């Protein structure tokens, strides 16, 4: 399918606004450029609370979103995208609000440490600490700790997938479901989707190579399944919901991970959104398919977690 007609003016706007070349810009400028203005009226949820969770290198900021209705609620731990380098709780606030309100699950958005200051596996260890804390302390938040899920987009999808591997390796916590939006699952920059869509469509091959250099500086370490989940043993992992975008350089590795899980006997719901680009999930109000994708994820979460 051709690019969705709504994407074309969006790409023009992104081109006009410009995004610093990560190879030349300072980290401060790069992170500032990744901040998009919030909507004038954020999607309402029952309550939002700022938490500080113990982590391996100090406290981890976590933003907790409570849905309407009586608890205990299932909990989804959300890990934001941004190449492990940019992004924060605010960059994905509206997306998390919409998923919380639409699914009926509580959400906890995790501000893990960022590379290059904290390279692999530091961000993953922060995410694991947050999930372990939630499993042990969720009762005080009105959470049903037997219904924990993890979710993330792009690099956050990488962390969510890797976390499932790590939790299996360490014997818990038990994760009931994983939601991966156009996840990074490997460091192969020569897939068909990288060749076809690696330039001019928001996320580029050059950007992803640079992000990998910050997160896992030693290429030899990129064979570790906790960095590249596609290299891991997928047996006994949680059921998964995976979405990709047709015009995303990460499309093929997301689709490959869906097949990888299915081949190991893991239940997978997979959907590729035609005409879409990387990052579209958070572009509600601009891209109609963003709302459709969020609605699909909410349906999957309700089904998986009995919300």
Q: Is 250 exposed, middle or buried (0-12, 13-18, 19+ CB in 10 A)?
A: buried
- Active site residue: 91, 103, 109, 154, which one? 154
How many CA atoms, within 13 angstroms, populate the side-chain half-sphere of residue 150? Answer: 32
Which pair of structure tokens corresponds to residue 255?
A: 């689709």
Where does the pLDDT of residue 14 fall: very low under 50, low under 70, confident under 90, or very high at 90 and above?
confident
Count CA atoms closer than 13 A to 294's CA, side-chain side. 23
Q: How far apart are CA 160 and CA 155, in angstroms?
A: 9
Angle, vertex CA 102, rays to CA 101 and CA 104, nearest 5: 70
Residue 160 has φ and ψ, to the nearest 5°, of -65, -45
| Beta strand segments in the chain, E | 47-55, 58-66, 73-79, 106-110, 143-153, 177-181, 240-245, 268-273
Would you call 154 a catalytic residue per the annotation? yes
Exposed (0-12), middle (13-18) or buried (19+): which is 205, by Cβ within 10 Å? middle
> How far is it, in rounded angstroms, from Cα 224 to Cα 191?
19
User: Which of 73, 92, 177, 278 is flagged as catalytic?
Assistant: 278
Write out pLDDT tens, residues 262-289: 999 999 999 999 999 999 999 998 999 9
Query: Could you read off the pLDDT of 228-271 as tens digits, one per residue?
Result: 999 999 999 999 999 999 999 999 999 999 999 999 999 999 99
pTM tops 0.95:
yes
Annotated active-site residue in 248, 252, 260, 269:
248
Residue 93 annotated to the active site: no
193 annotated active-site = no
pLDDT average, residue stretch 15-33? 86
87-121 burial, b if ≥16 CB within 10 A, otherwise e? Answer: bbbebbbbbbbbbbbbbbbbbbbbbbbbbeebbbb
């Amino acid at each position: 399918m051709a690019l969705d007609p709504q994407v074309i003016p969006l790409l023009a706007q992104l081109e006009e606004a410009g995004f610093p070349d990560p190879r030349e810009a300072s980290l401060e400028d790069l992170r500032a450029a990744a901040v998009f203005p919030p909507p004038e009226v954020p999607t309402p949820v029952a309550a939002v609370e700022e938490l500080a969770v113990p982590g391996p290198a100090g406290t981890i900021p976590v933003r907790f979103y409570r849905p309407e209705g009586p608890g205990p609620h299932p909990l989804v731990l959300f890990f934001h995208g941004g190449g492990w380098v940019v992004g924060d709780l605010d960059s994905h606030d509206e997306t998390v609000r919409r998923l919380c309100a639409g699914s009926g699950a509580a959400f906890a958005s995790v501000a893990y440490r960022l590379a290059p200051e904290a390279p692999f596996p530091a961000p993953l260890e922060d995410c694991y600490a947050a999930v372990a804390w939630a499993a042990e302390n969720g009762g005080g938040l009105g959470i049903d700790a037997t219904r924990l899920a993890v979710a993330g987009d792009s690099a956050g999808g990488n962390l969510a997938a890797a976390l499932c591997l790590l939790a299996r390796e360490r014997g818990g916590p038990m994760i009931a479901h994983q939601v991966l939006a156009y996840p990074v699952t490997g460091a192969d920059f020569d897939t068909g989707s990288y060749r076809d869509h690696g330039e001019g469509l928001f996320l580029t091959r050059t950007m992803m190579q640079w992000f990998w250099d910050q997160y896992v500086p030693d290429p030899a370490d990129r064979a570790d399944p906790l960095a590249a989940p596609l290299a891991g043993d997928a047996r006994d992992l949680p059921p998964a919901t995976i979405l990709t975008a047709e015009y995303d350089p990460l499309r093929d590795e997301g689709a490959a991970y869906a097949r990888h899980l299915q081949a190991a006997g893991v239940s997978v719901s997979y959907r590729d959104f035609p005409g879409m680009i990387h990052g579209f999930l958070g572009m509600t109000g601009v891209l109609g398919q963003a709302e459709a994708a969020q609605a699909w994820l909410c349906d999957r979460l309700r089904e998986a977690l009995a919300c």
